[in-house]
Amino acid sequence: MLGIVIGIAAVVMILSISKGFQRNLNNTLTRSHDGKQTGVIYFSAQDSSVANQTIFNQSDLNLVRSVPGVDRVKVITSDGDQHTTKILMGTKKEEWLVEPVVKSKGTLIRGTGFNQANNELHQRVAVVSSEFAKQWQKKHAQTIGTAVNLNGFDYEIIGVFQAKTKINLFMNTADIYVPKAAYDEVTPVSQGDGLLITMATKADSKKVLKSIARQLKERGSAKTRGTYEIQDNQQMASAVGKILKGITTFIGSVAGISLFIAGIGVMNMTYISVTERMPEIGIRRALGAKPNDITLQFLIEGTMLTSFGGLIGYFVGSALAVIIGHFLPFKVTFETGAFWLAFLISFAIGLAFSVGPARSATKKNLLELLR
């Protein structure tokens, strides 16, 4: 029964963690902060001369808002708030993520951070990750108090924060935080080359985005300077979800090997039980018990044993998933289907591997059984 418990626990744990990750991924890609579906329309310019021009004006925003199914719209840039910057680390330049913010983020382990007041004063200071500090100190005696050059301007490093493991495939933690006001005044700011569309409740995101793209192609202010392209986050999440589902199925199948081995153990145990209970079977047969009655008895015993093991495995797997979930950036998800799957698999194993021993108990000669 231990094999049944281990196998079912492994399958339930993997399914719960996988479902939680898929749900978190889907919400990250397709949902706004209030749980509504989102999508993106990007503008692809015909030439580089459009880079510093306004792509989406107020009339474009009003046009998008008038499309049925749109709740709200926001102009965004394709590179987001983070910027990849090459920084000289000794003799060569390396790429690091810089994020301009009003207030420094992260858990400080050395030095100090900056706040809104520092931002309003346009102070050129920086807070760097522990990973950056580790690389920086290979060529510098210390980190705090030195200056890092970003786009031709020096920023004094005043603090170091604990770097986080980058576990999200779509959003990385910045390596350097700098005051937004100081950074923006010396760095060219993009006018915005995309629209973040938040859908109304129950709206079909695919149809809404196609309608918006069609309207912009016909009436958009930049229609002669490039093309409008759709990024359907729902479709992207669905594609990634299918890949994750395939990986989960494979891992679950590997874990299922222990269930097969456990089934062989149940079969051997049932054979031993039949052998040890030959006199009992003989007495029942002598008193009029039919072969089907004997077979049913051992089938019930086998399925009860494995079903009980499956239920224990379900609760053990659920408990392990909850414990592991405390160390993950998303919540594990439990579904009723996992419970019934655990029960049915364990029941089927008990049934399949008990048939042979149960039938063998009915094929013995009565005199041989009573001997």
Model pLDDT for residues 293-332, shown as the tens digit of each residue? 878 887 888 888 888 888 888 888 889 888 988 888 778 8
* C-alpha closest to that of 272 among 309, 298, 304: 298
Burial readout 245-255 (b: 16 or more C-beta within 10 A, e: otherwise): eeebeeebeeb
Maximum pairwise Cα distance, the chain:
102
What is the structure's pLDDT at 350?
81
pLDDT band at 48; cut points 50, 70, 90: low
Burial class from Cβ neighbours inside 10 Å (0-12, 13-18, 19+) for residue 108 reads: middle
- Residue 159 reports pLDDT greater than 80: yes
- In the chain, the amino acid numbered 14 is I
What is the structure's pLDDT at 42?
82
Delimit the CATH 3.30.70.100 region(s) of the chain. 30-78+190-231
Question: pLDDT (tens digit, 9 = 90+) per residue, 224-236?
Answer: 888 888 876 666 6
- In the chain, the amino acid numbered 13 is M
For residue 139, what are its two tokens? 């060529």
- Cβ-proximal residues to 96 (8 Å cutoff; 6+ apart), any chain: 84, 85, 86, 87, 132, 175, 176
- Cβ-proximal residues to 185 (8 Å cutoff; 6+ apart), any chain: 122
Question: pLDDT (tens digit, 9 = 90+) per residue, 337-361?
Answer: 777 877 788 888 888 888 787 777 6
- Residue 171 reports pLDDT greater than 70: no
Burial class from Cβ neighbours inside 10 Å (0-12, 13-18, 19+) for residue 281 reads: buried
* C-alpha closest to that of 301 among 259, 272, 339, 279: 272
* C-alpha closest to that of 274 among 209, 195, 342, 368: 368
- Residue pointed to by tokens 């004063």: 121
What is the structure's pLDDT at 161?
93
Which one is the CATH code of 30-78+190-231: 1.20.140.10, 3.40.930.10, 3.30.70.100, 3.30.70.660?
3.30.70.100
What is the structure's pLDDT at 281?
74
- Cβ-proximal residues to 134 (8 Å cutoff; 6+ apart), any chain: none
What is the structure's pLDDT at 165?
54
On whether the CB atoms of residues 256 and 12 are closer than 8 A, the answer is no
What is the structure's pLDDT at 371?
61
For residue 149, what are its two tokens? 């050059």
Question: pLDDT (tens digit, 9 = 90+) per residue, 241-259?
Answer: 777 777 777 777 776 777 7
37 DSSP 8-state letter: B
On whether the CB atoms of residues 90 and 81 are closer than 8 A, the answer is no
What is the structure's pLDDT at 60?
87
Q: What is the DSSP string of 214-278?
A: HHHHHH-TTTTSEEEEEE-HHHHHHHHHHHHHHHHHHHHHHHTHHHHHHHHHHHHHHHHHHHHTH
- Residue 262 reports pLDDT greater than 80: no
192: enclosing H helix or E strand:
none
pLDDT band at 1; cut points 50, 70, 90: low
* C-alpha closest to that of 83 among 150, 162, 167, 164: 150
- Residue pointed to by tokens 């350097």: 176
Q: Is the dihedral of CA 128, 130, 134, 137 positive or negative?
A: positive
> Which of 132-146, 183-197, 329-343: highest mean pLDDT?
132-146
- Cβ-proximal residues to 254 (8 Å cutoff; 6+ apart), any chain: none
* C-alpha closest to that of 61 among 221, 181, 172: 221
What is the structure's pLDDT at 346?
83
Give the pLDDT mean for 159-175: 68
On whether the CB atoms of residues 148 and 126 are closer than 8 A, the answer is yes
Give the SS3 label for residue 289: coil
